[in-house]
Structure 1
């Protein structure tokens, strides 16, 4: 889920006069109240709040399995391999939908109807997932996660499209930062609240079990229903603004041409390897983290959930700060290398030491945020603008494919070999990403590329290229 949201900070920074302040309703009569005027800042702040909560339910429920790992394994009598299928089934539909989500929004549904449809998929998927636990049918839970996955990633695309439509201008990057922070808040609240919800439901029901688990997951679906209400209200406000300001519906700007894949340069394929090698060592680990901290460090379930959520807690404030740092300094490859090495050190600390895991997880949170800010923008430096939609779609596609496969592999390794071997496996994945980065550094250096330039040097290079083209 992190890929689609983090890359959107690359979008344009042009002014949108139709959304500027100071306009009033068309036609005669008194001006509208500020909160009712689509051109007024106060009205747009209301829209921004709705945008931020649009994906809250999706991010809250995505890591429900991680927050209730112990309860899922016990109540449904699962092994870890079957447990990780819940994450794999989320990723499978997004191997394909990364290419077609933007097309469906732009050409088929439109942003307003598309957002409502994707929110419905998220809501229905979570309800089916909870119902599967209620009736103790794991296949139904897997089907629910599949439906949930169809809506989850595409809803993130719709959320970003709304942001561009309403805030295209100097505030756009701030808006994307706020949306990303709200996503992390959703994940963090889930990690720290669902265990408490489960215990309260268990007190009411009388004992733990699949019924308690199902009721707890059904309560979590309320957040998805809340996001669906936000989608409905947002669609109404956007339709109203279209009439008042003669504003067109938002477009994703994603032009997907699969024939462009054969023209991708070698550095882009190295970036793909880094992306997959890195993220498969983050999200599957968080999915399995709760029991790891309970078994190795003798944490209580509440403490384990808290330390497991620190990556998301740090990412919320750190992402905009580190993004600003990378923007000002450039040197993207160097920053990504620092992030990957720090992540490798954190995993080695968790694997081979008994140091307080808060240290390693805090390092993991900072390095994860840094990599997201420095890696995704590099795609725009190595492919022409008309291929960006295809490049990012392909990057998200193979990321989801890697997450699906590694999630299943991680569960099988944990069942047969234990957590130490699993951590070594994650370290190997990160080492693959590091080797690809080193090759990328030298390839970019030999080709005279600008992946590792300072912002001023990159601006001079672009100015020369523009003058040559003219």
Structure 2
């Protein structure tokens, strides 16, 4: 209690006697310092927001380390594309389960502060093990590192969102989520454009290329994960301090996971799940294999190939908040999803069957990826009751990671046996299957509207058979 009272007094305006003692300090400097230290003030919350943004920077930076160093990993570790893509599959496997239980662990077991620190430690340890696999020329150790990294990566994103809700709910929450997403994409972009250059510098320092050079490069990249851990520790301290001063509760994820709700999911929700899987498997595995594709087909240098491979993330950083606002203002989510799918299909067709400058196709892919993310995920809330939202989103992320794990392996096998043209045809087929799913959703919605209109015509609006639960309430 004494410590709490001291901190509270420190945030109150200074008395006249204190002002006399601190006459050398200017009023402006004193006010600025007071604002930075007061958890209820905007300046303090901006400091917290900065820490939240950098909390996930290391995770997103290191997630695509394999994509940025695809040529070096395959050459130095002497693996084919199928084994290379296992580095992405092993990241996704733990998240098939943790998407259900990550929120539960944060809410009921660790708490938001310890949960964030623990998941940040998993990210750091996973990256270190991944790098040690390169240093010791043990690819199985690299796979183990990616598995451990995956345990922390997705759950850390849940913790990041929970902090955002805890500090900014009812104020600037939509803007905060947009800034966090932008910082995540910046991390991926910096990785794509930095790791190849860093490898060349380490190679020049050691005198030769090889698995040791690869491991050292990955270890240096892991510094970003340590930055995330430092942010997690700082956030835990500031959140605990704010709880003492403002008497606020720890943040909760808001996810109530009940596996029994799965059997009550409607057909439109299952179709949304299918759209999610079929679309994202044509984005992330392609980016994971894109660097060599742009080098071999279009003759780009390694640095230029990395730059164009990162365009999807570069565009999504500023455009995700813009498209989110657009979808919010206009509605029509299914129409925007359809536009995104058409644009993605056109991008893959251009990359597969033309020699046009790939910057055009990749810019379109970046725009469509940003648009679909803003339009698809909110659709879940339209077709499930509020008490099932946590389970629905957890299941959606779960099958997304399952799809990414399986398709990553299949994509590597196709590339090893058939080449990039067949791989692009496979991605085109995945995106094309989304059309059938969208048509199914529209057809079901049309049947529902027709059935509702028929009941109204036959029984009248006042008949109880026409009234939904919402109408009666």
Q: TM-score normalised to the size of structure 2? A: 0.90
Aligned length: 433
> What is the CA–CA distance in structure 1 between the aligned matches of 2:353 and 2:371, rounded to whole Å?
24
CA contact (8 A) 2:11 2:38 kept: no
**2:144 aligned with 1:143, yes or no?**
yes
Contact 1:161 1:251 in 2 (8 A): yes
Which residue in the other structure is 1:190 paired with?
A: 191
Superposed CA RMSD: 1.5
Q: In structure 1, what is the equivalent of residue 366 of structure 2? A: 365
Which residue in 2 is equivalent to 1:280? 281
Distance in 1 separating the partners of 2:251 and 2:345: 40
1:264 maps to which residue?
Answer: 265
Q: CA deviation at 1:271?
A: 0.3
Aligned-partner SS, 2:256: coil
| Corresponding residue for residue 218 of structure 1 | 219
Pair 209,249 (structure 1): closer, same or farther in 2 beyond 3 Å: same
- Structure 2 partner of 1:96: 97
Cα deviation for residue 389 of structure 1 reads 0.4
* Distance (Å, rounded) in 2 between the aligned partners of 1:39 and 1:333: 40
Q: Distance in 2 between matches of 1:312 and 1:469?
A: 47
Q: How does 1:212-251 map to 2 (within 5 A)?
A: 212-251=213-252
Q: Distance in 2 between matches of 1:85 and 1:143?
A: 10
Contact 1:135–1:211 (CA<8 Å) still a contact in 2? yes
User: What's the CA shift string for 1:34-61, capped at 9, x where partnerless?
Assistant: 1111111100000000000000000000
Q: Distance in 2 between matches of 1:100 and 1:427?
A: 33
Residues 304-319 of structure 1: matches in 2 within 5 Å? 304-319=305-320
Distance 2:185 2:255 in 1: 25
The answer for the alignment partner of 2:399 in structure 1 is 398
- CA distance, structure 1, for counterparts of residue 350 and residue 164 of structure 2: 40
Q: Report the Cα distance in structure 2 between the residues aligned to 1:469 and 1:102, rounded to whole angstroms.
A: 34
1:78 Cα deviation from its structure 2 partner: 1.0
2 CA distance for matches of 1:30 and 1:266? 57
Q: Which of 465, 468, 471 is residue 468 of structure 1 equivalent to?
A: 471
The aligned residue for residue 324 of structure 1 is 325
Could you tell me how far apart the structure 1 residues matched to 2:146 and 2:324 are?
32
Q: Distance in 2 between matches of 1:465 and 1:330?
A: 23
Within 5 Å, which residues of 2 pair with 1:56-455? 56-448=57-449
Distance across 1 between alignment mates of 2:341 and 2:348: 11
Name the CA distance, whole Å, in 2 between partners of 1:376 and 1:180.
14
CA contact (8 A) 1:185 1:316 kept: yes
In 2, Cα distance between equivalents of 1:467 and 1:338: 32
1:304-334 deviation per Cα after TM superposition (whole angstroms, max 9, x unaligned): 0000000000000010101111111111111
Name which one, 1 or 2, has greater alpha-carbon Rg: 2
Closer, same or farther: CA 287–28 of 1 in aligned 2, 3 Å: closer
Supply the distance in 2 between the matched residues of 1:279 and 1:36 (Cα, whole angstroms): 42
Segments of 5+ residues of structure 2 without an aligned counterpart are 1-5, 14-32, 451-466
Residues 11, 34 of structure 2: 8 Å contact kept: no
Tell me, yes or no, if the aligned pair for 1:25 and 1:37 is still in contact at 8 Å.
no
